[in-house]
Amino acid sequence: MNIIDKYEISSLTNFLDSFFSVQKRSQNLDKNFLTLEDNYRPYIKTLEVDNRLEIEVDLPGFSREEIVLEVVDSCLKLKSNEKLNKKSKSHDFKRSPFKLNLEISPPYDSSKISAKLTNGVLRIAIPKSDASKSKQIKID
């Protein structure tokens, strides 16, 4: 019968504890990433250029037909189409459903919004309204 050194058992126990600890953390991490899929939010960049506001939204793998852009009152609503096929294998990027609401406040004119999708980047241009331009007032 062989006698096992107590230090060997201790190191084996430490190894097993750390292994199962890492495994549990990995499971928790996987669970968190699965819930992130439901909360997908594309990257948005806003710029004020000349007399307009430009919004760039990164939507890799999306086509024009899969994106819905509308204005309701002073709110710009951007979302993926309800018919988005999550299991499509023809795309290089994973596409997840999303919804964004952006408030358009004066001096921008929500009735003159234009949008263009190029290479997975949606560019939305919102011009300033004519009423927002300054006007010199003559004092009598």
| 102-127 pLDDT per residue, tens | 888 888 888 889 999 999 999 999 99
Alpha-carbon distance of 20 to 38, in angstroms, equals 28
The architecture that CATH gives domain 44-130 is Sandwich (2.60)
Count the helices and strands in the chain (H runs, E runs): 1, 7
Structural Rg of the chain based on CA atoms: 27
Alpha-carbon distance of 77 to 100, in angstroms, equals 6
Predicted model pTM? 0.62
Residues in the chain: 140
How crowded is residue 108: how many other Cβ atoms within 10 Å of its Cβ?
19
Alpha-carbon distance of 69 to 18, in angstroms, equals 50
Domain ranges across the chain: 1-39, 44-130
Residue 100 CA to its chain's centroid (Å): 9
For the stretch 38-48, pLDDT in tens is 567 888 999 88
Residue 13 CA to its chain's centroid (Å): 44
Walk along the chain (140 residues) and give the pLDDT tens digit of each residue. 555 555 555 666 666 666 556 555 555 555 555 444 456 788 899 988 888 899 999 998 888 999 999 998 888 899 988 665 555 555 566 677 888 888 888 888 888 899 999 999 999 999 988 765 666 778 87
